[in-house]
Amino acid sequence: MRKRRIYKTNRTFIMIALMIALLVPTISPKEAHAASGTTYYISSSEGNDNNNGLSQAKPWKSLEKISTAAMQPGDKFLFKAGDVWAGSLKLKNIAGTAEAPIIFDKYGSTDPNSRPILNGNGTTTTEPFSLYTYYSGVSDKTQSAVIDITDGSYLEINNFEVTNYSETIISQRAGIAIKTSATNQAQWLANAHKGIVIKNNYVHDVNGNPKGHKMGSGGILLLGNISDALVENNKVINVDIEGIRNAGLYKEGDVTANFPKVLTNVQFKNNYIEKVQGDGIVMSNIGTNGRIEYNTVVDHSFKNVGNVNYAGLWVIAVKDTVIQYNEVYGGKFGYNDGQAFDVDMFSEGTLYQYNYSHDNRGGFILFMGGSRNSLVRYNISVNDGNGAYLLHYLPTTANDAPLIHNNTFFADSNINTKIFSHTNRYAKLYNNIFMAKGTMNMGSNTFAGGEIKNNAFYPGSDIKGQSFSGVVLENSIFESPKFARPGEEPKNIISGLDAFNAAALDGYKLLSDSPLINAGADVSSLTPSVWAAASKDFFNNNISGAADIGAHEFSNDPPVIVKPEVLPTEIKLNQTATELYLGQSGAALTATVLPADAWFKGVKWSSSNPSVASVDASGKISAISVGTAAITAQSVVNASVKATSQVTVHPSTPVNKYIVASDDAYLSEDKKTVQLRIDGEMQGGGTVNNPPYYKVSYETDNPHAAVDPLTGKLTFTGDLAGVNEIGVTADIQEYKNLIYSESFENGWGDFVTEQNPPTSGSGGKLSDKVAYHGKYGVLYDNPPAVEKVFGPNQQGIVTMMLYDDGSKDGRTRVVSHVGNKRENLFAAMGIFFDGGTVGNLDNYSIRASSSATAWEKTSIPRTVGWHELKWDYTSGTDLKMYIDNQLVKTTTAIKNFDRISLAFVWDNASGRTFGFDNIKYASSDVKTTYKTEKLKVSVNKPERLATILTGPESIQSGKSFAIKYGLNGVEQKVYAQHIALNYDANLFEYVEAASLIDGVTIVDSEVGASGKLQFIIASLGAGQAVAKDAEIALLTFKAKEVAETATGTISIASATLGDEQGAETTAELASLGIKVIVEEPGIPGDFNGDEKVSVGDLALIAVHYGKDTTSSDWQDVKRFDLNHDGKIDIVDLAAVAKLMIG
C-alpha cells in the first residue's frame, strides 16, 4: 500500500470488534436436527393414506393426510423427490422446539436439483388474513400459499419445488407463506413465533393478484411476528409480487402499529431471485441482528403495473441491520422507484456495504425521510439510473441524512443520469467516484445543508465551475481516476455463501498513478456510533492511513489486465456551415469524436453569440435573431480538441414550396424502408427542414409502397425484381389564415413557465421520443404548466396534437387548456383521473368550468397514438370543443381566450409517455392544400454471380491472342469450378490455358469437337478460395487465316461452382465477340505510306494515344490499334518501336 502505516490501539480493537460483528454473527437461527420424533414418508406416486407412513416402502400419499397429522417436536415429513402434488399444504398451530424442530424435507435423491414438486395451481381462499383486518387500503383481504402455515414455530422447510399459477383465478397468493394471526398491535406483540428455517427451495411461477397489496403475494413470505428466521439458498423465479420478504402488522391510521421494531435474528442469505413483478427482497420490523447478504436479485420491478413503487433489495423499520455482499441488477419499472437498494422509513442504523448494483432504471439507492444513522460505504454501481438518478434522495435534515462515502459509480456512454433526484436536500457525501462516459450532473444546485467533500467527478463537465448553494463543496477532483478497465459489467458474481467474487470487478481498481490515492477525507468521526469505521475496502484490502477515494483502497494490487484510457484527438461535425431562418426549424449538429475507441465521446456545446443562435446540450441549434454565430463542440476531457460550425440566421421569409426529401432515397433487397421528411424552400431560395404545416399525406406510384404519415417512413412490401424506381408525392395542408404556429423544432418558442404555478417541478421537456411534426415534441415529465399568452379577447381555431401511450395506471392528469386564466375557468381537454372519483382512465375527459370536480367523460375511448384536440372560438358566442373531429362539448360559459396552456399542473410522468405537438391558431378553419413535386426513390439491384470474358475486339488473321475468364458478384467462397466453353472453330483455334491466381489450378481440360472446351478448376486448400470478384484463367487462341473479315464468338456454355459445404450453384453466362481482320496490303506499321516504319509512324500513334472505342473519331483512328484490343496505348507504341528497330 502506497501510504504510511498508522497503528492505534483503540482503532485496532474497533476493527476487530467490527469484523466479529459483521462476519461472525453471535446469534443465528438454529438448524438443529431432531433429537427425537417420528419420520414420515410421503409419495404421490407410490403412497397410500392408509399406510402408516413410517417407511419408504409404506409412504403416505396426500397433502391432506399431512394436514391432519398430529405433529410433535422432532417429527420429520419427507416427500419423495420427483413426485408431484397438486393443491396446498395448509397447517396451523404447529411447533417444534429449538432442539427438536419439525422438519419438512425430501427423500429419494441426493441430487440438489431433484425435489418434490408442490403445484398450487392458483391457490385461493375466502378466509380473511388477520393482519389485513383494519387495513382499508387492501380490497382483497385474503392470502393463501402452497405451503401455508399459520402460527408455527421451530419449523424447517427444505428442498421443495413450489409453483402456484393460474391464468383464471386472481388471488393474493404465495409459494411459501409463514404467518402469525393478530388483528391489533397487542395481539401481534403477544403472538410471537420463532425458529423458522427455509432452505434450498425452488419457488417459481406464482402469479398473485397484480393489483393486490405487496405482502399478499410472492415467492417466500414471513408475515407477522416471527424472529430467529433463516431464509437461505433458495431460488425464486417469475413471481408476483414480492420475491422474499417479511412484514409486520398493517393497521390503517396507526403508523407506529405498522412498524414495531421487535424482531430479532432474521437473516436472508444466498438466495437467487429473478423476474419479480415488484420487490426482490424486503426486510422489516427488525430490532436486532437483521442481515441480508450474498443474495442475487435479477429483473426486479419487472412488470409495468402503473403507480406502484418497487425496488430491488430494501429495508423498512429496521434497527442496526446489515446489508452486504449482494448483487442487484435489471430493475425495469417500479414507478417512482426502481432502485437497487432502499433505506425506507422508520429505520435506524442501516448499513449498506460491499454490494454491487448495475442496470437498475431507478438508480442505486433510495433514501426516505425519517430514518436515522444510515451508512452507505464501499459499494460499486455500474450503469444505474438511466433517465433517472443515482440517489433517490429525500432527507432534508442532518439527522435524516445518510453518510455516503467511498462508493464507486460508473455510467457508460449510453447512460443519461444525475446524482441527486431532488433539490433542497441535506447531503453527506465524501470520497465517492462519479465517472460518466455519458451525461451525469449533480441534479440539484440548491441544498438544505451538508457537505460534498473529496469526491471525484470525471469528467464532471456539468459540475465543474457550477455554483451550489446551501452545501459545502470542497476538494473535488476532476481528473481521471485511472481505473484498470472501467465499463465492464459482470453478472452473477455470487456463487454461494461467503462466495462474493469481488475480483470480477477489478476493472474498477485504481492504478498506481491514480490521483485519488490518499486523497480522501477522514470520515471516521462522522461514522454513526453504532458502527465502527470501515476496516476493509470492497476488495477486502485493509484500510489504514489516509483514505483513497472510491471503493478501492490501493494496496499495490493492480489487476493483471489493464486497458489504458484512450483520449479524444479529433472532433468532426456533420455540418461546417449551417443556414437557418427565423421562425422556422432549428438544426441538429452531430459531433463524431475520434478515434472510434476513445473512452469519452461526450462534447460540450457552446455558441459564440447565443443572442443569434443558441445550442443545447444535444447539439440542437435554435435561431434567435438575424446574424452569425460559431457553434463549437468541445471534448469534455480534452479542451484542446474541438470543432466549429458557422451558423447564419436569415430573416423570416414565407415558405415558397414544400419538398418531399430524404437522405437515403433508395431501396434494395436488404433495405425495404426509406425515411422521408418534408423540407421547405424559402422565398429567398434557402431550404429548411420540417417547415410548419397542419397535416401531410403521402402518395406513391407503386401499390406495394406505402408511407406512414406520422413517421414519414416509406415501406415496400412487394418484390423489387421488376421495379426500377418509385415516385413519392405529398399533399401538405396548412391553415389559410394562420396567426400562430409552434411545433417546437426551434426550441420552446414563445412558451414559458406559467406564472405562480401551484406545483413546482422541472416541467415538461423537449424530446425526440415522440413527435407529430418534425423531430421534436413536448414530452410531459413534471409540473409546472407552460403557456403562450396572447392579448385579450382572441377568437379563432386552436388545434394541437396529444400523444397518449394508453397506460391506465393510477393518477393521470395530462390536459391542455385554451382559455383565460385557468383559475377563473378551465377550458381543457385530455386525460384526467385524480386517482379517486374525479375523471376516468378509459375515455378522454373535458372540462369547461371553474369547478375542480367538473370533469366530464367523453364518448371518445383512449387509444395509443396521436389525437387532435380542437377549440373553436369562431362564433363569438360560445366555445365548441372537439377530440379527433368529434364534437364533445359546447358551452357559452367562455367566448374568447388569451392563452394556450399545456397544463402539466399536478403530477409527473413516472416512466409513462405523454406529449403535445403542432399547435396551430388560425382565424378560421379554412385550409389550403399544396402538392409537392415527385421524389424519385431508386432501386439498387443486387449484382448477380456471373462469369466474365475479356479480350480484344478484333485480331488480325493468323495472329495469336488471349482472353481472360473470371467471376463477378462473388459473395460465397468458391472452391471448385466446372466451366464449359464454346468457340467458333471456323475462325479460332484453341492453344492453351493457364491459371491467373496462385493456389487455384486448372486440374483438367478437354478439347472437344467443333469448338467445345471444358475446364475443371480447383482451389488448393481452405485459404485459396475465390472469395471476391477475380480474373481466374488466361485462355490463348489463334485467329485462323480468312479470305475476308468475319466476326466469331467465344462464350461460356455452362458454369457450375462449388462452395465449402459442397453446395453447387450456377453463374450467369458470358460471351465475347471478336472480329478477325484480313491482313491489309502494305507494310504493317507504315501509317504515313512512305513504305517504311519510322519515327513519323510512331508520331501518328503518339498523337492519338489514349483513344478507345468510345472516342468520337474511333473509326478514323482505329487503324493505329495494332493489337486490336479497342484502345491505342503503350502496347501499340511498343509494337511500332519494335518494327522500327528490327
Per-residue pLDDT, 758: 77
Residue with cell 453471535: 26
Residue 1116, pLDDT score: 82
Burial of 264 (0-12, 13-18, 19+ CB in 10 A): middle
Give the pLDDT band (50/70/90) at residue 35: low
Say if CB 592 and CB 572 are below 8 A apart.
yes
Cell, residue 946: 456471373
CA distance 70 to 90: 13
Q: Does pLDDT of 755 surpass 90? A: no
pTM of the model: 0.71
CATH class of the structural domain 39-474: mainly beta
pLDDT for position 255 = 63
Q: In the predicted model, what is the mean pLDDT of residues 856-875?
A: 97
- Provide, rounded to the nearest whole percent, the portion of the chain with pLDDT above 90: 71
The mean pLDDT of 739-750, rounded to a whole number, is 91
SS (H, E, C) 793-837: EECCEEEEEEEECCCCCCCEEEEEEEECCCCCCEEEEEEEECCCC
Residue 253 confidence (pLDDT): 59
Mean pLDDT on 673-694: 89
CATH 3.40.50.170, domain 738-925, yes or no: no
User: What would the grid cell of residue 210 be?
Assistant: 397484480
Q: Quick one: which of 970, 981, 968, 972 has its CA closest to 1071? A: 981
* Segment 557-566, tens digit of pLDDT: 999 999 999 9
Q: Which residue has the cell 447565443?
A: 610
Q: Which residue has the higher pLDDT, 166 or 1083?
A: 166
Residue 30 confidence (pLDDT): 46
pLDDT at residue number 306: 72
pLDDT bin (cut points 50, 70, 90) of residue 128 is: confident
Strand partners, 1050: 983, 1072
Domain assignments of the chain as residue spans, ordered by start: 39-474, 570-650, 655-734, 738-925, 946-1077, 1095-1140
Q: How confident is the model at residue 10 (pLDDT cuts 50, 70, 90)?
A: very low
Of the given ranges (2-6, 22-26, 857-861, 1088-1092), which has the lowest mean pLDDT?
2-6
Burial annotation 404-435 (CB, 10 A radius, 16+ → b, else e): bbbbbbbbbbebbbbbbbebebbbbbbbbbbb
pLDDT, average across residues 881-906 = 93
Same fold, 570-650 and 946-1077: yes
Give me the CATH topology for the region 946-1077.
Immunoglobulin-like (2.60.40)
Binned at pLDDT 50, 70 and 90, residue 675 comes out as very high
Grid cell for residue 828: 381543457
pLDDT band for 1093, please (50, 70, 90 cuts). confident
User: CA-to-CA distance for 1041 and 737, rounded, in angstroms?
Assistant: 86
Q: Find out whether 35 and 47 touch, Cβ atoms under 8 Å.
A: no
At residue 498 the predicted structure's pLDDT band, cuts being 50, 70 and 90, is: confident
Q: Which helix (H) or strand (E) holds 70?
A: none
pLDDT of residue 1044: 87
**How far, in Å, CA of 130 to CA of 654, rounded?**
73
| Kind of pairing between the strands at 84-86 and 425-430 | unpaired
Cβ neighbours of residue 1115 closer than 8 Å, sequence gap 6 or more: none
Residues in the chain: 1142
3-state helix, strand, coil in the chain (%, to 5): 5, 45, 50
Lowest mean pLDDT among 26-35, 638-647, 732-741: 26-35
Alpha-carbon dihedral sign for residues 535, 538, 540, 546: negative
Which is more confident, 485 or 129? 485
Mean pLDDT, residues 51-62 taken together: 98
Q: In this model, does residue 1100 exceed pLDDT 60? A: yes
The predicted pLDDT at position 256 comes to 66
Residue 447 has pLDDT above 50, yes or no: yes
Q: Which of 116-120, 537-541, 822-826, 999-1003 is predicted with the least confidence, judged by mean pLDDT?
A: 822-826
pLDDT above 90: residue 907: no
**Which pLDDT belongs to residue 890?**
97
Distances (CA, A) of 884 to 695, 802, 830, 901: 13, 10, 11, 19
In this prediction, residue 24 carries a pLDDT of 37
Give the lowest-confidence range in 472-476, 652-656, 1028-1032: 652-656
* CA-only gyration radius of the chain, Å: 40
> What's the CA gap between 241 and 212, in Å, rounded?
8
Q: Is pLDDT at 850 greater than 80 in this prediction? A: yes
**Where does residue 618 fall: left (phi above 0), alpha (psi -120 to 50 degrees), or beta otherwise?**
alpha
SS (H, E, C) 620-649: EEEECCCEEEEEEEEECCCCCCEEEEEEEE
Residue 1003's nearest CA partner among 1045, 983, 1032 is 1032
pLDDT above 80 for 11: no
Question: What rounded mean pLDDT belongs to the chain?
Answer: 91
Give the mean model confidence (pLDDT) for residues 952-977.
91
CATH assignment of 570-650, given 3.30.1360.10, 3.40.50.300, 3.40.30.10, 2.60.40.1080? 2.60.40.1080
pLDDT at 148: 98
- Whether 778 has a pLDDT exceeding 80, the answer reads yes
Task: Indicate the pLDDT class of residue 257, thresholds 50, 70 and 90.
Answer: low
> pLDDT, tens digit, for every residue of 343-367?
999 999 999 999 999 999 999 999 9
Q: Is the pLDDT of residue 254 over 80?
A: no
HSE of 182 in the Cβ direction (CA atoms, 13 Å)? Answer: 24
**Dihedral over alpha carbons 899, 903, 906, 912 (to 10 degrees):** -170
Question: Which pLDDT score, from 0 to 100, does residue 762 have?
Answer: 76
pLDDT band at 9 (very low <50, low <70, confident <90, very high): very low
- Judged by average pLDDT, the poorest of 275-289, 707-721, 1095-1109 is 1095-1109
Grid cell of 254 as nine digits: 396507526
Residue 219 has pLDDT above 70, yes or no: yes
CA distance 870 to 856: 16
Instruction: Give the pLDDT score at 689.
Output: 86
Query: 21: pLDDT confidence band, cut at 50, 70 and 90?
Result: very low
In which band, very low, low, confident or very high, does the pLDDT at 656 lie, cut at 50, 70 and 90? confident
160-164, 187-191, 193-197: the lowest-pLDDT one: 187-191
